[in-house]
């Protein structure tokens, strides 16, 4: 039997689904994937850093030695040897020990944001975020319809003393201490200590989202806040920027009571993260591979960052300012107040250059004269050409 249905089906979407919006960056990426466009828009790591040979070898080994486990369903909390490796790597000398039971493997740390929203946010719950903040977190939390409160930030990141006036009743504070997406800025050690103390005093759960922490150009990353107070901090890590994002592997570390809830939420979402992927990643990293691999990523990104900073100095007109990141993948540009970055983008795309306007990164009042540049996937010569083009467009409007 064939059902004749000349009319389009009338869906009744949930209120939640009706309010969902596509991430602005994902929309821009569709346009900017054309090869002739010089795109500073993506947040993608450089494919030149992907450890293809090591991954191939590890897949082969895992499938040769342990196929029956690797290809089977696995536990929701994740592959224990990998969770143990993560717990050990976060347990610093002198700090409190983190145990494997506190680690939940997730399908990209983006999933941790969704799970946190599911278990901590009710409609109208207060959620504190940096100004500006990671767009993907705003998008993930938005589904649960919180009231976002933007917390003051300065060139050193979040200002802890501004929390007293907004913390009452808040469900969490979402922070990005290292080479923040989108601004590239980093919190000083003193700031981290002050923030941890302030959150403990205010009984405010602190989320430390840290996908870029290992990518410090100069070497040793700053101390993680989770090591300062594992009882009050929810740490999120990811293999996307130190191995490859295509494997979709991240983790969340939290006090046990919260981990159990997150695990239930994950069970409902996808049962568990690919066991095969977790075993392969463990195989790749278990003997110190990251200590050898990460310096090459730092060096590549550091060189390209410097190339962009030099080009900005050469080509951008007076009245424009930008951050000088010491790691990570992004530079944040502030234009003269009257220049709207969204309008600038339309012109830039006509000239075959793309970036991400800053407005979508703000939970509340957007600063429309800001924009984010990524330098990691564009070779130096094209960085110079692209920044020269942008500089000209800005100068015409300055």
Binding residues for ligand PMP (CB under 6 A): 43, 108-110, 134, 136, 176, 181, 209, 211, 238, 240, 245, 250
- Least distance to ligand PMP from the beta carbon of 364, Å? 19
Do residues 236 and 261 touch, judged by C-beta distance below 8 A? no
Q: Which helix (H) or strand (E) holds 235?
A: strand 233-238
Q: Of the two residues 136 and 157, which places its CB atom closer to ligand PMP in the complex? A: 136
Record the tokens describing residue 394, joined without a space.
């800005």
- Least distance to ligand PMP from the beta carbon of 209, Å? 5
d(CA 96, CA 255): 12
d(CA 34, CA 23): 19
Coil, strand, or helix at residue 354? strand
Q: Of the two residues 284 and 339, which places its CB atom closer to ligand PMP in the complex? A: 284
Q: Of the two residues 110 and 198, which places its CB atom closer to ligand PMP in the complex? A: 110
Q: Of the two residues 38 and 176, which places its CB atom closer to ligand PMP in the complex? A: 176
> What is the dihedral angle through the alpha carbons of 27, 28, 31, 33, rounded to the nearest 10 degrees?
-100
Q: Of the two residues 282 and 384, which places its CB atom closer to ligand PMP in the complex? A: 282
Q: Could you count the other beta carbons within 10 Å of the beta carbon of residue 286? A: 13
- Least distance to ligand PMP from the beta carbon of 213, Å? 10
Residue facing ligand PMP at closest CB distance: 108
- Least distance to ligand PMP from the beta carbon of 323, Å? 15
- Least distance to ligand PMP from the beta carbon of 105, Å? 11
- Least distance to ligand PMP from the beta carbon of 160, Å? 20
Phi first, then psi, for residue 162 (nearest 5°) are -85, 0
- Least distance to ligand PMP from the beta carbon of 26, Å? 11
Strands 206-209 and 147-151: unpaired
Q: Which residues contact 355 (CB under 8 A, 6 or more apart)?
A: 40, 41, 341, 345, 348, 371, 372, 373, 390
Q: Of the two residues 236 and 339, which places its CB atom closer to ligand PMP in the complex? A: 236
Q: Of the two residues 250 and 391, which places its CB atom closer to ligand PMP in the complex? A: 250
Listed residue (167, 155, 251, 268) closest to 210, CA to CA: 251
d(CA 308, CA 321): 13
């Amino acid at each position: 039997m064939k059902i004749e249905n000349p009319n389009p089906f009338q869906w009744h979407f949930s209120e939640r689904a009706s309010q969902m919006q596509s991430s602005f960056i994902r929309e821009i990426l569709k346009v900017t994937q054309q090869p002739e466009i010089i795109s500073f828009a993506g947040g993608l790591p450089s494919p030149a850093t992907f450890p293809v040979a090591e991954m191939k070898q590890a897949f082969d080994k895992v499938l040769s030695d342990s196929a029956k486990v690797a290809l089977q369903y696995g536990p929701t909390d994740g592959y224990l040897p990998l969770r143990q490796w993560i717990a050990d790597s976060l347990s610093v000398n002198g700090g409190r020990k983190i145990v494997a039971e506190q680690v939940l493997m997730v399908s990209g740390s983006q999933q941790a944001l969704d799970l946190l929203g599911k278990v901590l946010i009710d409609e109208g719950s207060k959620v504190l975020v940096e100004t500006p903040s990671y767009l993907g977190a705003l998008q993930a939390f938005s589904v649960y319809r919180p009231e976002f409160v933007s917390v003051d930030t300065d060139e050193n990141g979040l200002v802890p003393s501004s929390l007293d006036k907004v913390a009452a009743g808040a469900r969490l504070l979402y922070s990005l201490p290292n080479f923040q997406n989108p601004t590239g800025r980093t919190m000083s050690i003193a700031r981290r200590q002050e923030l941890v103390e302030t959150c403990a005093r205010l009984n405010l759960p602190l989320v430390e989202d840290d996908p870029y922490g290992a990518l410090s150009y100069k070497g040793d990353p700053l101390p993680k806040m989770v090591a300062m107070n594992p009882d009050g901090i929810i740490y999120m890590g990811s293999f996307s920027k130190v191995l490859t994002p295509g494997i979709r592997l991240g983790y969340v570390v939290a006090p046990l009571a919260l981990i159990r809830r997150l695990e239930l939420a994950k069970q409902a979402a996808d049962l568990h993260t690919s066991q095969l992927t977790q075993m392969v990643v463990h195989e790749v990293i278990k003997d110190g591979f990251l200590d050898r691999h990460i310096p090459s990523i730092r060096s590549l990104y550091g060189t390209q960052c410097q190339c962009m900073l030099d080009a900005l100095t050469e080509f951008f007109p007076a009245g424009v300012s930008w951050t000088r990141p010491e790691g990570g993948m992004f530079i944040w540009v502030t234009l003269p107040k009257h220049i709207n970055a969204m309008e600038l983008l339309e012109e830039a795309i006509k000239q075959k250059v793309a970036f991400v306007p800053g407005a979508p990164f703000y939970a509340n009042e957007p600063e429309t004269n800001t924009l984010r540049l990524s330098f990691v996937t564009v070779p130096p010569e094209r960085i110079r050409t692209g920044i020269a083009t942008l500089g000209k467009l800005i100068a015409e409007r300055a």
